[in-house]
Amino acid sequence: MSQKLPDANLTRRALLTTGGALVVSFSLLPSLGLAQAPPADTVSPQPSPPQPLPGSLKTSPMLDAWLRIGADGSVTLFTGKSELGQGIRTALTQIAAEQLGLAFAAVKLITSDTQQTPNEGYTSGSQSMSDSGTAIMHATAQAREILINLAAEKWGTAADGLQAKDGSVAAPDGRKLGFGELVAGQTLSVRAGSTSKLKMPQTFAIVGKSVPRVDIPGKLTAAPSFIQDMRPAGMLHARVVRPPSPAAKLLRIATSAVETLPGVKKVIVDGRFLAVVADREFRAIKAMEALAAAAEWSESPSLPKQSEIFDVLKSLPNKVYTIRDDKGPAGAVTKSLEAAYSRPYQMHASIGPSCALAQFSDGQMTVWSHAQGMFPLRQAIAELLTLPEDKVRCIHVEGSGCYGHNGADDAAADAALIAIGVPGVPIRLQWMREQEHAWEPYGPAMAMRVKADLDGDGRIATWDYSVWTNTHSTRPGGAGSTLAGQLKAQAFAIPAPQIIPQPAGGGDRNIIPLYKIPNVHLDHNFIPEMPLRVSALRGLGAYANVFAIESFMDELAVAANADPVAFRLKHLEDPRARDVVSLAAEKFGWQAAAKLGPGRGHGFGFAKYKNIAAYCAVAIELEVERETGHIRLLRAVAASDSGQAVNPDGIRNQIGGGIVQSASWTLHEAVAFDTTRILSRDWSSYPILHFAELFETVDVHVIDRPGMPFLGTGEASQGPTGAAIANAICSATGVRIRDLPLNAARIKQAIGV
Amino acid sequence: MVKLNINGQIHDVASEPDTPLLYALREDLALNGAKYGCGVGQCGACTVLLDGKPVFSCLVPISVVDGRAVTTLEGLGSADKPSPVQRAFIELQAAQCGYCIPGMMVRAEALLQRLPSPTTAEIRAHLQPNLCRCGTHMRIVAAVQRAAELSKSTAPQKI
Ligand code: FES
Ligand code: FES
């Protein structure tokens, strides 16, 4: 998909001198007779491009926000997104190297840092490729054309026929000028055009290749790779002490015994925000334990009964958002079905508990964090500390996988609140396992109810679906969305929860079935009051909505006496959707009447993530041990379509990982709580999938669509997998279980042996 | 001062004797291989070898370790000279966030020393104490199998 750029002509070049250095500014102007625009270093009066800019260029339109070329020809790329273990560093570098005609290794990438990179909000929603990847593709393509034009100008030749290759612009006669010579170390202060001269997909040398991830060798050979590995000189170790339960009030605390423990530098008591600072890590832990023992709390019940959570949620005031109300002609109804599904609170439960570093020096707060959005975090911390935003810098450093809004932001706010009281010293705050489990914001509980009618042809005539849930994002959000802001004496109010509008959606993400149904009514019952602290967990509402929709599709298929795959295809028009469904079924060896062994079942699930991102279909075979309800996962076969596949192995890794993670959510996970306390406080009280329960095989088939837009993949397989497992259990046992998790106890009870 | 024998080198460490080995490794020796995951022996992120056997370094006080041979991820190989296990994990891109992987590799090393050609079932059973949250398990198992092949092809030939 190469689009010829109408406006990518170098129409103005201004030479300015500042402080002895030559500053060259280029201006790419739309070919609309606007040739007399001011030089690009006076950015604001620039004319707006006629079309919206692609990806995150919309919000950061200057090319030098995305890439800089040094006098030595070195190319540095900037992204506001962060590496979260999804391989984004590698994929973004591939895109830039491709468009600039550079070797992969020649591009250096700087990720999210409020002082250096564009503001791209959060790294979430599987949007890094569509936001940042698209922006970088266009920015680098346009930069390449500028370089070519500069060379043409120097040589006094036409730009046609010149090529950017291996860091130089080359002419057909063999002449060459290095990128560095061309820009002489100056920045590309150019506003991006809305279209670019993109390379043709069939000429790609780097995009579409499974380039090994740049971060993996370091991580696997113990190079400092994670925030936990940072050890700036003079660093002190901090630990927080959390209340025993969300509503606990601090009655009294005697800190003097803690203050005199070896190595203790500071004890902080600020309302319910308690912390210690010590010279060595284990001393900080001992001080934390001593401070916890010294605190007297009064606890009171503030949580609903876990067994009644869905009734409680449904009884709370809600606001109904009708997402769709389609009316169309349909055949006479022959059968009607109704079912209710649920998903409990589930947690991110990162393997590495949250960590942050903060240093307050000369009125400037610097925070290193593995949170998903450095710019929103900066705003929250500035508010928390009553500092102007320009006095706070937030730099992303990798943590362990977060899968959404986990404790990272809270740890960053904790570290900043501690560090401001210990000026000049880098403070490393590490959460303990129990703190991560008990205090991270959980993926919200969800209740789904669906009714449908079938006509005489076995087609779905009407579909009526409702979901009840809280907000699915309380991300900063301001200081009040951080635990530090909520716990300190001068507490900040928790911001009012917001919905995330369609098409992305929050609790209603993927609420729209992709199937062709003439009458569709969809309600999102948004419940503002949050009995437990919640926020974005990978996929948001998509996991449970797809679980419900795709479970119900199987229930309807049974009622229509149809094969589940054929039933889906009968209702699917989107050819790309049909392709992934058909490919997954084919590679799985799906049989109309499955002749699987005793106790065995197979199941299918499909979704187009958010209805705007990657397509994914998953087929699963498993075995149920009737006496115990234990599941043995046998095979998973997935087919996915992420548009242009930048790094196919990266896609396989994400889809395959999502399948295994979703199997864990689906079979095991529910946050346990009584009316006072969170009870899931470690890995034994919140079990996840172990190796013993692993699939025998997981195969992922990637459909590449060269030239098509990038479609986010990181959250595509979780929903289809959950449904495929539920459907396979039903196929194996004849019993339909609609409440997650589908654990052994539930299965045994449902089978009734 | 406690004496620690880490990857064949003797170190005097300043940590108090009740300090778990994990903290001494990370703080006194600035080693990144062993990771903090739970501190209570439930996840394996901190796995090291103690006299060749995998242990949770978060649970073992350095007073107990005194003088015994500790092998960490750094002891397996380096970026320039990765061990077969490391080469296999890199070759198969067996990591997502990668936080759990050092513990997995160190535990796998213990298995391969004992059992040079493990079956998939043996690998899974052996890795059972270690958790991965990204769902990288399938690649981890495949990487351990690949490491077994690489170890054989690089092992000194017996005549
Ligand atoms: S950190 Fe040692 S087992 Fe989890
Ligand atoms: S790769 Fe992230 S926890 Fe295993």
| Cα–Cα distance for residue pair A357/A526, rounded to 1 Å | 36
End-to-end CA distance of chain A: 59
* A153 and A266 inside one domain: no
Amino acid in position A489: A
User: What's the CATH code of the domain at A64?
Assistant: 3.30.365.10
Please state, as a whole number, how many other Cβ atoms lie within 10 Å of the Cβ of residue A31. Answer: 15
**Are the C-beta atoms of A458 and A560 separated by less than 8 Å?**
yes
Please state, as a whole number, how many other Cβ atoms lie within 10 Å of the Cβ of residue A423. Answer: 12
Domain range spanning residue A136? Answer: 12-34+51-216
* B18 and B58 inside one domain: yes
> How big, in percent rounded to 5, are the helix, strand and coil portions of chain A?
30, 25, 45
* A148 and A176 inside one domain: yes
Assigned domain for A717 exists: yes
Three-state SS annotation for A286-329: HHHHHHHHHEEEECCCCCCCHHHHHHHHHHCCCEEEEEEEECCC
Judged against a pLDDT cut of 70, whether residue A31 lies above it is answered with: no
| Cα–Cα distance for residue pair B135/A656, rounded to 1 Å | 7
Judged against a pLDDT cut of 80, whether residue B157 lies above it is answered with: no
Domain range spanning residue B68? Answer: 2-72
pLDDT (tens digit, 9 = 90+) per residue, A606-616? 999 999 999 99
Amino acid in position A631: I
Report pLDDT for A719.
Answer: 98
Q: Is A477 left (phi over 0), alpha (psi -120 to 50) or beta?
A: left
Report pLDDT for A592.
Answer: 64
* B100 and B136 inside one domain: yes
> Which of A460, A468, A465, A469 has the alpha carbon at shortest distance from A450?
A465
| Cα–Cα distance for residue pair A147/A126, rounded to 1 Å | 32
Q: How many domains are there within chain B?
A: 2
What crossing angle do the helices spanning A542-559 and A648-668 adopt, rounded to 10°? Answer: 80
Interval between CA A490 and ligand 2 midpoint (Å): 38
* B105 and B57 inside one domain: no
Please state, as a whole number, how many other Cβ atoms lie within 10 Å of the Cβ of residue A630. Answer: 15
* A645 and A724 inside one domain: yes
Among A216, A238, A257, where does a domain finish? A216
Judged against a pLDDT cut of 50, whether residue A312 lies above it is answered with: yes
| Cα–Cα distance for residue pair B145/B123, rounded to 1 Å | 8
Among B72, B104, B123, where does a domain finish? B72
| Cα–Cα distance for residue pair A525/A444, rounded to 1 Å | 13
| Closest residue to B98, CB basis, from A216, A282, A683 | A216
Assigned domain for B77 exists: no
| Closest residue to A281, CB basis, from B27, B98, B124 | B27
* B88 and B68 inside one domain: no
Residue bearing tokens 């062993």: B34
Judged against a pLDDT cut of 60, whether residue A25 lies above it is answered with: no
**Are the C-beta atoms of A29 and A2 separated by less than 8 Å?**
no
Assigned domain for A119 exists: yes
Question: Using 50, 70 and 90 to split pLDDT, how confident is the model at A45?
Answer: very low
Residue A607 Cα to chain centre, angstroms: 17
> Which of A353, A342, A699, A362 has the alpha carbon at shortest distance from A545?
A342
Assigned domain for B78 exists: no
Decide if B8 touches A, using CB distance below 8 A.
no
Question: H helices of A564-697, where?
Answer: 564-570, 575-588, 648-668
* B65 and B91 inside one domain: no
* A167 and A284 inside one domain: no
Amino acid in position A14: A
Contact B93 A225 (CB under 8 A): no
What crossing angle do the helices spanning A648-668 and A718-733 adopt, rounded to 10°? Answer: 50
* B91 and B134 inside one domain: yes
Among B52, B72, B92, where does a domain finish? B72
Contact B42 A683 (CB under 8 A): yes
* A580 and A529 inside one domain: yes
User: What's the CATH code of the domain at B50?
Assistant: 3.10.20.30
Nearest CA to ligand 2 atom 4: B132
Among A439, A464, A498, where does a domain finish? A439
Cα of B62 to nearest chain A Cα, Å:
12
How many alpha carbons lie under 13 Å from residue A560 in its C-beta half-sphere? 26
Question: Using 50, 70 and 90 to split pLDDT, how confident is the model at A176?
Answer: very high
Report pLDDT for B88.
Answer: 98
What average pLDDT does this structure show over A578-597?
90
Among A171, A186, A216, where does a domain finish? A216
Beta-strand relationship, A519-526 and A319-326: antiparallel
Amino acid in position A116: Q
Beta-strand relationship, A176-178 and A168-170: antiparallel
Contact A398 B39 (CB under 8 A): no
* ipTM confidence: 0.96
Report pLDDT for A130.
Answer: 83
* B12 and B33 inside one domain: yes
Instruction: Report the residue of chain B nearest A434, measured CA to CA.
Output: B38
* A537 and A557 inside one domain: yes
Assigned domain for B130 exists: yes
* A544 and A419 inside one domain: no
| Closest residue to B134, CB basis, from A85, A216, A697 | A85
- How far, CA to CA in Å, does A630 sit from each of A627, A661, A667? 8, 18, 10
Pull the structure tokens for residue B136: 């990288």
pLDDT (tens digit, 9 = 90+) per residue, B7-54? 999 999 999 999 999 999 999 999 999 999 999 999 999 999 999 999
**Are the C-beta atoms of A431 and A240 separated by less than 8 Å?**
yes
* B141 and B115 inside one domain: yes
Q: How many domains are there within chain A?
A: 3
Residue B88 Cα to chain centre, angstroms: 14
Assigned domain for A479 exists: no
Instruction: Report the residue of chain A nearest B41, measured CA to CA.
Output: A683
Assigned domain for B159 exists: no
Cα of B159 to nearest chain A Cα, Å:
33
Query: Residue-wise over A384-416: b if at least 16 C-beta within 10 A, else e?
Result: bbebeeebbbbbbbbbbbbbbbbbbbbbbbbbb
Among B72, B97, B113, where does a domain finish? B72
Report pLDDT for A265.
Answer: 98
* B111 and B141 inside one domain: yes
What average pLDDT does this structure show over B99-109?
98
- How far, CA to CA in Å, does A326 sit from each of A322, A330, A518, A524? 11, 12, 7, 15
Judged against a pLDDT cut of 60, whether residue B97 lies above it is answered with: yes
For A:303-332, CB contacts with B below 8 A are: none
* A433 and A462 inside one domain: no
Which numbered ligand comes closest to the C-alpha of A228? 1
* A195 and A250 inside one domain: no
Report pLDDT for B155.
Answer: 59
| Cα–Cα distance for residue pair A59/B101, rounded to 1 Å | 37
What average pLDDT does this structure show over A416-435?
98
Helix/strand/coil for A697: strand
* A111 and A161 inside one domain: yes
Nearest CA to ligand 1 atom 3: B41
* B110 and B59 inside one domain: no
Assigned domain for B90 exists: yes
* A392 and A468 inside one domain: no
Contact A282 B15 (CB under 8 A): yes
Assigned domain for B101 exists: yes
What average pLDDT does this structure show over B96-124?
97
User: What's the CATH code of the domain at B130?
Assistant: 1.10.150.120
* A134 and A252 inside one domain: no
Assigned domain for A310 exists: no
Please state, as a whole number, how many other Cβ atoms lie within 10 Å of the Cβ of residue A297. Answer: 17
Residue A189 Cα to chain centre, angstroms: 31
Residue A548 Cα to chain centre, angstroms: 22
Phi then psi for residue A494, to 5 deg, are -70, 125
pLDDT (tens digit, 9 = 90+) per residue, A101-136? 999 999 999 999 999 999 988 887 778 888 899 999
Report pLDDT for A596.
Answer: 86
Report pLDDT for A50.
Answer: 57
| CA B94-B114-A695 angle, 5° bins | 40
Beta-strand relationship, A168-170 and A249-253: unpaired
Residues of chain B with Cβ-Cβ distance to A635 below 8 Å are none
Amino acid in position A97: A
